[in-house]
Every structure is written in C-alpha cells, then in structure tokens.
Amino acid sequence: MTSYKDYTIATLGSHSALQILKGAKDEGFRTIAVCEKGRSEPYTSYKVADEIIEIDKFSDFFTIEEELKKRNAILIPHGSFVSYIGSEKVKDISMMHYGTRGILQWESDRMKSKEWLVDSGLNVPKIFDTPEEIDRPAIVKFHGAKGGMGYFVANTPDEFYDRIREYPEEKDYVIQEYIVGVPVYTHYFYSPINDELEIMSFDKRYESNADSIGRISAKDQLDANIRTSYTIVGNMPIVVRESMLPDFFAMGRRVVEKSRGLEGVGPAGLFGPFCLEAIVDPNLKLFVFEISARIVAGTNPYVDGSPYTWLRYDVPMSTGRRVARELKEAVEQDRLKEVLG
C-alpha cells in the first residue's frame, strides 16, 4: 500500500497556485509549480514549491506531462488551467488529476451550466436568446473565462449592437439579465470520501473598473461618459448574514446531487471545491449567474483560514489545503481513484 508521501502535488503557477501548493506542503506533500519562463518569482519568494518546472507558455503544458508523471504527480486544475489549456483539451490529460472528469465542459458552457442550475432548483437570471429581446439592463458575457475582460452592459437592442462592434472577433456570447444587488461568491467543498458538504468561505470580486466608478461622482461620470467594465483584479473577503447560511448549504447540496449522471460526468458527479456566483437583491432573493466546478481565486484571501473554516478546523484550512487533505485521506483509505477525474 502506498503512502501519501509517494505523491507530489503539481499545479500551474497562477490563479490559486500559492494556496494549493502551501496547503499541500502543510499536509506533507512534495510540490511542483509549473511556471511560465520568467514568472516563477512568487513561487520561490513565498517558498511554496519544492520544485519549479518552467515552460514557455502554459499552453505547452503537454510537453512536460511525462516529466510530471515520472514524479508521481497529481495535477490540481484551477481557473487559469481551464482557461489556458482549454476545457476540451482537459480531456487529453493522461496524468493523475484531481476532480470530476467532464464537469468542466458543463461549467464552461453557459447554456449547459444554466440548465444544470435550473434543474437544481436554483433561481437564475433570465437569458435573452437574441439581442432584440433586451427589454431591461442586460450584461453581455463572452465565452471562456478571461477574467471578465470585455463584459459590457446594454439596456436596449440598439445599445447592444453599438457596443458589440468593439469586439468583432467575439461570436460566442450570452446575454444575461443584469440583476441589481450585491455579488456574493460561495466557496464550497464536497467530499465524496466522507460525504460532507462544507462552506469554506465567501468573497466578492474586485473588478476594474466596476469597483471604482462608484468613487467618481455621478456628474463626473456623465461628463466623462464612463461605462462599466468587469476585469477581475483581485478579491475581497466578506461574511454573509448568518440567517442565510442554511439556504447556501441547501443550494450547494442540490447542485452536487443534480451533477450525478450529467452527460459525460459519470455517477460520482461534482466533488471537491466549487463556487456558486450569485447576486443577492434587496429582498434577499438569490440569483445564481454562474458555477465554477473547481477552486476559485476568491478563496485566495483565506490562505490562513477563513471566518468559517476556523469554526470547524483547528489548523489554518484554506481551500487549497482542504484539497490536499482530501487526497491524503483518499490515499490512506486506498480510495484515491475516487477523487481522480
């Protein structure tokens, strides 16, 4: 029988790699950061990687897959991984990797993920099938997770056609009702090893310029003709009204249950870290506008644990460390296969 010490945790040096690698080290694993040339300084400075492997660009990942296999490495996918490798090519990975096979296809396709969320009984914003249907504020989002870059708001079909001209190369977008309310991102972890659903933490994104135009007076905004954009620059910690927690637990549970048997997903369904991205309106009604079926960067404020994980754990439990602990327990119980996609 193998020991968890025989395995190495590897991930791409970006997104949430610092906490993934730190968490793995804290749980006793060896770690590898796969970095783009000249961009490894964070991983050396913060001392989270036992080894750095450099490649020219992340899309060259497959050129070093064999090297990783030799080190008995388990790959942890994250948002940048999906974005750089492509959700289709994720299927070609032949090394051990953590997470549900096929689920990334569901999260990256906005129509499929909407179907999944609706089938789970969640409340979602309206999707406009054509620009002509826009009869209220709508946000236009491009396919592929480029960190929100290029998203725009349109109030009418005319405004849509006016704005979309700036993006001649973008053919693949979704037009979503814009819900007025505060964003709340819930970070879940579902363990098939102990059949428990945890809420690790919450965040709100820090977006440019969305989170700064409010600092400009309405008059100056109008004078300068300022429009909103949604490029993710970072994340801010929040806690939520405690009376809403039971509902957040219920939502996560339903999404996990419905994931079982989704096309291409398999009976295990969704497990590990995932995130429901929601807007809470002034009547406390929740609108879930996105699901991420892997670790999100919104967990990064909680490298040393969150106001929620400190309730349950007596060590600093980041989501990255929770992943490592899951792998450790899986190895120890000889159930590693169950958590590899």
- Does 45 engage in binding with its own copies (CB under 8 A)? yes
* Minimum separation from the CB atom of position 244 to its own copies (A): 8
The distance of closest approach from Cβ of residue 66 to its own copies in the complex, given in angstroms and rounded to an integer, is 26
Q: Is 300 in the site for its own copies (CB under 8 A)?
A: yes
Rule CB under 8 A: choose which of 63, 170, 222, 334 binds its own copies: 222
Q: How far apart are CA 159 and CA 308, in angstroms?
A: 43
Residue 58 token pair = 């992340």
Partners of 12 in beta bridges? 34
303 binds its own copies, rule: CB under 8 A? yes
Q: Which of 106, 274 has the CB closer to its own copies?
A: 274
Residues 182-201 that bind its own copies (CB under 8 A): 182-184, 196-199
Which CB sits closer to its own copies, 118 or 182? 182
How far is Cα 124 from Cα 249, in angstroms, rounded to an integer? Answer: 17
Whether residue 178 contacts residue 138, with contact meaning beta carbons closer than 8 Å, is answered with yes
C-alpha 319/C-alpha 199 separation (Å) is: 10
Task: Write down the least CB distance from residue 213 to its own copies, Å.
Answer: 6
Q: Which residues in 56-67 are b (16+ Cβ under 10 Å) and which e?
A: eebeebeebbee
- Coil/strand/helix, residue 319: helix
Q: How far is the CB of 8 from its own copies (least distance, A)?
A: 19
To the nearest whole angstrom, how small is the minimum distance from the Cβ of residue 188 to its own copies?
11
Residues 6+ apart with CB under 8 A from 72: 6, 7, 8, 96
Residue 144 has what DSSP assignment? S
For position 315 contacting its own copies by CB under 8 A, the verdict is: no
Which of 27, 177, 211, 326 forms a contact with its own copies (CB under 8 A)? Answer: 211
Interaction with its own copies in 148-177: which residues (CB under 8 A)?
149, 153, 155
Q: How far apart are CA 335 and CA 315, in angstroms?
A: 24
Query: In this complex, which beta carbon is closest to its own copies, that of residue 106 or of residue 173?
Result: 173
CA gap 288, 284 in Å, rounded:
13
Q: CB of 326: closest distance to its own copies in angstroms?
A: 16
Q: Which of residues 237-296 bind its own copies (CB under 8 A)?
A: 237-246, 249-250, 279-284
Q: Give the contact letters, 4-43, x = binds to its own copies (CB under 8 A), - = no.
A: ----------xxxxxx--x---------------xxxxx-
Identify which of residues 153 and 340 has a Cβ nearer to its own copies in the complex.
153
β-strand partners of 196:
191
Nearest distance from C-beta of residue 336 to its own copies, angstroms: 25
142 alpha carbon, distance to own chain's centre = 16
**Nearer of residues 91 and 204 to its own copies, judged by Cβ:** 204
Count, residues near its own copies per rule CB under 8 A: 96
Q: Is 123 in the site for its own copies (CB under 8 A)?
A: no
The nearest distance, CB 55 to its own copies, in angstroms, is 15
CA 10 to CA 12: how far, in whole Å? 7
Give the footprint of its own copies on residues 57-76 (CB under 8 A). none
32 half-sphere exposure, CB direction, 13 A CA radius: 21
Determine contact, residues 50/30, Cβ cutoff 8 Å: yes
Q: For the CB of residue 263, give the shortest distance to its own copies in the complex, in Å.
A: 30
Residues 6+ away with beta carbon under 8 Å from 19: 299, 300, 302, 303, 318, 319, 320, 321
Residue whose entry in the numeric block shows the structure tokens 């080290």: 25
Q: Which is nearer to its own copies, 77 or 147 (CB)?
A: 147
